[in-house]
Amino acid sequence: MPRTFDDDAAPTGASTSTDPAGPRTPGEQPPADGDARPAGRARGAGGSGRAGEADGPDDGRPSHAVLTAKVRADGGTEAGGAPGRDPDDAADAADAADAGPIVATETRLLRRLLGPATLELDATPRARLLGWLWPLAVTALAAVLRLWDLGRPRTLVFDETYYVKQAWSMLERGYEAQWLGDDANQRFAAGDPGALQVAAEYVVHPQVGKWMLALGLQLGGGVENPAAWRLGAAIAGILSVLMVARIGRRLFASTALGTLAGLLLAVDGMAIVHSRIGLLDGFVMFFALAAFGALLLDREQARRRLAARTAVILDSGAALRWGPGMGIRWWRLAAAVLLGLCAGTKWSGVYFLAVFGLMSVLWDATARRAVGVRAWPLAAFVRDAVPAGLAMVAITLVTYVGTWWSWFRSPDAYGRLWAEQNPGQGVQWLPEGLRSLWKYHSDMWAFHTSLSAEHSYAAHPLGWIVQWRPTSYFYPSEVSTLPPDQAREACGADACAQAITSLGNPLIWWAGAAAIVVALGWLVWQRDWRAGAVLSGIVAGWLPWFAYTHRTIFAFYSIAFTPWVVLTLAYVLGLSIGERDGDPVHRRRAIAGVSAFVVVIVAVSGFFYPIWTAWVIPYSFWHAHMWLDTWV
């Protein structure tokens, strides 16, 4: 069983005879965070929580030998590319070596905090080049699958009737205006936006996603080009594949596993469909994923700072106490801005702020624990949690309010002048503009929490993870009811069908559901931080919906956490392969099995691609895709 890099481990103190690293030089203690324990070692009843390991000095200061400036290392141990590998194995071997190069305190702490595999990830120009080429290759594949014939069908699909038209209204009016007449959709699809009025329309989602669609309309040539309606969503979907590949590479310290995760997202139906129609949920995914990537970069940058500043303290002989501060966390602040944009697309983005913020603070706490800060819970709370919470919430809130800029500057926007028209009502201490916005948000909240209309494709969130009830976005009767002679001309059969079904690749989602269970077990029993990371987006994007089962909700909301499903699947496939220096026979067989599985996944995506992208196909071929009765 591969070891984990348990950076959640407690600092240890005096050496004991049960130390797995073997004999140590006189006076030297086990690693400051106890990472080197074998996987599955039982916890003790108290102290550091380690069986057979004593607590550190009572004054909280690290021992001289652990935290002196130099230790010996053999320099020959390479961390495996698979997740679950314990990156501190090399550090333990270094401690026990009798000869070898001298390693500075900062280097040793870096190996403990980040692991040799991460430190070696960009060690050579070739590694850095491949770290971009392979992700770009799967991104190119994603671009082909998303951009080819993007204008099909040349009609507004599902909620495009709201969001695409609202995006055009944003460009023309600066706010969402009403459209006149029952034929507004037909006129719009024909390239005529003349049905747009001046009177404001009551809408129930913020503006960021519609501005993203508006950007695509601008870049794509306007209303006349149906591909332009969806170009903003396509660009976000393509960039998401690149982000997943690069995030996976950094997360797993493996270009291969990162590329695998990117490939899975590139060919997944849920991701393809939402990159080819102008809805908002793909932008929730995009901004949440970008925020996750920023926090991952923040984690590495903060740990590098912690290693450098802790080394200075230790080399001077001073007490570590709470550990050093980590300075301004620019990547964390960037994540807060991105989460503000996420919430500014749909309010469900707020859950990503809560989960990601907690995850980031836990990373800080375990980092302080790993370098030997004895009072790490209090230190992490005071130095990390409080400032992080205040900064992230404040920046996210300011960003969110800022996304309403065009509403503030448009007196004709819905509810903009409510405070002026209703003096003495609402939250009196707020300025009039914010008081009007607060009232508008109160109305939006009432709508979202009371929506309970019957819908044939409403789906309980429990089934989302296995794609139990996918949403049918498009199935035009004018195609399915063609006379046989016209049908044979259109699709080569007596009956035709044309569909856009928001259905993920079944193999990805079914295997992903199993991988979630495995990753959860690995998190609990092996305490691998990577397991928690890949599950975080699923927690934020999926679990909150169980509180809203009383209202009308749909399976396509799962696009928001789709990247974390493929990351979780890639993570577990990496576990199945094992460590880079593991049994070569097992690794060859596992790699062959994983490769075959991926080939089948790609083939299944090819099979389902026509019903993701509105091909006109024989009805019998469409029906062959309905593997479950609930998919119809």
Cβ 237 vs Cβ 556: under 8 Å: no
Mean pLDDT of 9-35: 32
pLDDT digits (tens, 9 = 90+) for 119-134: 999 999 999 999 999 9
Contact partners, residue 335, CB within 8 Å, separation at least 6: 291, 292, 294, 295, 298, 356, 360, 392
Residue 606 lies in a domain: no
Residue 622 lies in a domain: no
In 3-state terms, what secondary structure has residue 120? Answer: helix
Task: Specify which residues 590 forms β-bridges with.
Answer: none
- Please state, for a pLDDT cut of 70, what percent of the chain lies above it: 84
Highest mean pLDDT among 96-105, 358-367, 416-425 belongs to: 358-367
User: In total, how many domains does the chain have?
Assistant: 2
Distance CA 416, CA 199 (A): 12
Which band of pLDDT confidence, cut at 50, 70 and 90, is reported for residue 587?
very high
From 75, 90, 120, give the residue that closes a domain. Answer: 120
pLDDT digits (tens, 9 = 90+) for 368-397: 999 999 899 999 999 999 999 999 999 999
Encoded amino acid at 592, one letter: A
Number of Cβ within a 10 Å radius of residue 155: 16
The first and second tokens of residue 582, run together, are: 């593991």
From 444, 469, 494, give the residue that closes a domain. Answer: 444
Range scoring the smallest mean pLDDT among 27-36, 61-70, 256-265, 557-566: 27-36
The pLDDT, as a whole number, for residue 101 is 55
| Nearest CA-CA partner of 625 in 480, 461, 459, 499 | 499
Residue 82 lies in a domain: yes
The residue behind tokens 């607590």 is 55
In 3-state terms, what secondary structure has residue 185? Answer: helix
In 3-state terms, what secondary structure has residue 198? Answer: strand
Distance CA 331, CA 296 (A): 9
Which band of pLDDT confidence, cut at 50, 70 and 90, is reported for residue 320?
confident
Mean pLDDT of 347-361: 97
Distance CA 568, CA 553 (A): 24
Residue 175 lies in a domain: no
Residue 50 lies in a domain: yes
pLDDT digits (tens, 9 = 90+) for 40-79: 333 332 332 333 222 233 333 333 333 333 333 333 323 3
The rounded mean pLDDT for the chain is 86
Residue 23 lies in a domain: yes
Mean pLDDT of 566-570: 99
The pLDDT, as a whole number, for residue 34 is 34
Residue 317 lies in a domain: no
pLDDT > 60? residue 625: yes
Distance CA 105, CA 111 (A): 10
Range scoring the smallest mean pLDDT among 62-71, 318-327, 348-357, 618-627: 62-71
Task: Specify which residues 379 forms β-bridges with.
Answer: none
Mean pLDDT of 599-614: 98
What range does the domain containing 77 cover?
A: 1-120
The structure's pTM equals 0.84
Cβ 116 vs Cβ 122: under 8 Å: no
Which band of pLDDT confidence, cut at 50, 70 and 90, is reported for residue 424?
confident
How many CA atoms, within 13 angstroms, populate the side-chain half-sphere of residue 481?
Answer: 4
Task: Specify which residues 300 forms β-bridges with.
Answer: none
The pLDDT, as a whole number, for residue 449 is 84
In 3-state terms, what secondary structure has residue 244? Answer: helix
Q: What is the 3-state secondary structure (H, E, C) of 362-426?
A: HHHHHHHHHCCCCCHHHHHHHHHHHHHHHHHHHHHHHHHHHCCHHHHCCCCCCCCCHHHHCCCCC
The pLDDT, as a whole number, for residue 103 is 65
Encoded amino acid at 413, one letter: A
Distance CA 376, CA 362 (A): 11
Residue 435 lies in a domain: yes
Mean pLDDT of 423-448: 92
Which band of pLDDT confidence, cut at 50, 70 and 90, is reported for residue 37?
very low
Q: Calculate ∠ Cα 510-515-517, nearest 5°.
A: 105
From 86, 120, 154, give the residue that closes a domain. Answer: 120
pLDDT digits (tens, 9 = 90+) for 260-301: 999 999 999 999 999 999 999 999 999 999 999 999 999 999
The first and second tokens of residue 67, run together, are: 């935290």
